[in-house]
Amino acid sequence: MIGSMRKREPQASEPVAQRQDAMQLIALVRECLLAGIARRACVVHLSRLGIDRLRPHHVRLARAALEPLAHADRARLFTLPNQSLVTVWRGDAKVAVATSKAAIMHLFADGDAGKIAPDMVWEELDIPGAAERLLAMAKALLDPATTSTPPAASGLPLDPASLSALEAQLANADVARFARRHPVCSRLADGSFRLRWEKRTLCIDELAESLTPDHAPEADPWLFLRLTRTLDRRMLALLAAPGKLTGARPFAINLNVSSILGPNFLRFDTALPAALRGQVTLDLLPADVLADPSAFLFARDFARARGYRLSLRSITAELLPVFPLARLGLDLLQLKWSAQLSTFDGMAALADVSKIMLSHADTPAAIAWGSAFGIELFQGYLAAEPAPHATLAR
């Protein structure tokens, strides 16, 4: 079944799901680029076939025609905002490619518009060789005015019992395959970006899809926050593994206050190479800080004494006046881009922009808005243009 690819079917809102797909495709391609990982991809350009061949049943049938590729290693299917389909997989899948291509060509071979050329609808690409082309294709489909839509949760929310089961599964799962790195860059005067550090995360969507496919962990925000403590422990253990951080670049990780004060952090701190001391940023959430303000103060001062930088993430326009950086005693505020920010007029009075990073900067509008306010640090799909073939040490 095509649904067995690591991709949920679009549910509540197709446009939203398709924009998410485009963003996820960009993320995947970028990860491959950064890590020097090879992948194959095929694009079914349904958008080139005209409106008469873009009806829902056409898209459905085209997805079904890609079924053989679903069994390829690490296969993922993306439906882009223009209805074109992109499949990315690893390794050799010649037979599946031939079968899928034949099915697609058969599907659209005859019609009122006449016979179509295979090249018009079917395109095969190599990653990283043709990564730039795929990136350009996906970026072009992101509507600058409306992107950065928060992911729509699909699936059941967690309850305490399912959370408990998920945490038990996490204890034995190999989370290394869900580890991701996202560049945080400064924007230079010429408009290009320079990598400052990497944000290291665990990909929650893929992890949830793998461990509890029927649930959307983020649908219940409080149980999800509870889950992040377990994820923190796994992430810290992953990073503290022998040799994991040898030669690593500066990085940031999401942590809860209680995680900074936990035994796993002490082990991570012991394992941190001297060269990275002072180069690691710990990203905290406002709700977590306020859950135990005394513990936050203790954790902040302890982490700072150990040479860590601290930042507050997921700050929106509403929260910007609530959390002044100086009052918090932190190094960085991560302002989350949204269209709402473009009408926010309190930036100049409120914030020291040299200590603000614009996150979720996935659109040109976000970059332009941030740059206009003098923000130099960006994190997002568009805010990273590493040199081709650049690889970062794992």
Partner 1 sequence: MKVFEHSGGTRPPSLTEQALHDATLRAGRSPLGRVAVVLHLSRLCPPGPRLHHLRIMRALLQDTADWYEGQVFALASGDMVLLCRATPPGIAPAIRAAPSFATDPFAMPDILGRLLRADTPSAASLVTIWPLESAQAELLVYTQACVERMRVHSGITSTKMPQRGLRGAKTVSIDEDFARQTGSLDAIGTLVNAAAISDLMQRQTAILLDPAAPQGAGLRPLFREITFSIGVLEERTASSGHATADPFLFRHLAGRLDQRMLDVLSQESGRGGPLDITRARPGEPGLDEAGLAPVLHLNLTLPGTLSPAFTRFVAACHRAKLPLGVEISLIEASANAKLFADARARIADAGLHLVLDGVSHVALQICRPWALQPDLLKLDWSVRLGDLPDNEQQSIETALAEIGPARVVLHRAETEAALKWGLLRGIRRFQGRHVDSMLGASRIIACPSADGCTLRQCIERAAATGRAGRSGCHNTDLLDAGVPASAAAPYLGGGTGRPSQVIA
State which of residues 3, 247, 278, 321 lies at the interface with partner 1 (CB under 8 A): 321
For the segment 295-314, give every residue that binds partner 1 (CB under 8 A).
Answer: 295-299, 301-302, 305-306
Q: In whole angstroms, how close is the CB of 262 to partner 1 at the nearest point?
A: 8
Q: In whole angstroms, how close is the CB of 189 to partner 1 at the nearest point?
A: 33
Strand arrangement, sheet containing 73-79: 73-79, 85-90, 39-44, 122-127
Q: In whole angstroms, how close is the CB of 212 to partner 1 at the nearest point?
A: 15
Under the binding rule (CB under 8 A), the answer on residue 322 touching partner 1 is yes
Under the binding rule (CB under 8 A), the answer on residue 339 touching partner 1 is no
Residue 307 burial by CB count (10 A; 0-12/13-18/19+): exposed, middle or buried? middle
CA distance 214 to 227: 16
The alpha carbon of 27 is separated from its chain's Cα centroid by a whole number of angstroms, namely 6
State which of residues 214, 327, 345, 349 lies at the interface with partner 1 (CB under 8 A): 327
Q: Which is nearer to partner 1, 62 or 317 (CB)?
A: 317
For the segment 131-170, give every residue that binds partner 1 (CB under 8 A).
Answer: 160-161, 163-164, 167-168, 170
State which of residues 81, 128, 262, 370 lies at the interface with partner 1 (CB under 8 A): 262
Q: In whole angstroms, how close is the CB of 25 to partner 1 at the nearest point?
A: 27
Q: Which is nearer to partner 1, 53 or 360 (CB)?
A: 360
Number of residues that bind partner 1 (CB under 8 A): 51
Q: Which is nearer to partner 1, 35 or 350 (CB)?
A: 350
Q: In whole angstroms, how close is the CB of 298 to partner 1 at the nearest point?
A: 6
Question: Residue 239: which residues within 8 A CB-CB, separation 6 or more?
Answer: 200, 245, 253, 268, 271
Question: Using CB under 8 A, which of the segments 89-97, 114-122, 259-267, 371-379 binds partner 1?
Answer: 259-267
Q: In whole angstroms, how close is the CB of 345 to partner 1 at the nearest point?
A: 15
For the segment 213-252, give every residue that binds partner 1 (CB under 8 A).
Answer: 220-223, 225-226, 233
Under the binding rule (CB under 8 A), the answer on residue 324 touching partner 1 is yes
Q: In whole angstroms, how close is the CB of 323 to partner 1 at the nearest point?
A: 5
Compose the 275-294 pattern: x for residues touching partner 1 by CB under 8 A, - for all others.
----------xxx-xxxxxx
| Beta bridge pairs of residue 126 | 40
Q: Which is nearer to partner 1, 1 or 274 (CB)?
A: 274
Q: Which is nearer to partner 1, 6 or 226 (CB)?
A: 226
CA distance 251 to 55: 45
Q: In whole angstroms, how close is the CB of 43 to partner 1 at the nearest point?
A: 35
Question: Using CB under 8 A, which of the segments 16-24, 31-39, 181-189, 262-270 binds partner 1?
Answer: 262-270
Residues that bind partner 1 (CB under 8 A): 160-161, 163-164, 167-168, 170-172, 220-223, 225-226, 233, 258, 261-263, 266, 274, 285-287, 289-299, 301-302, 305-306, 316-319, 321-324, 327-329
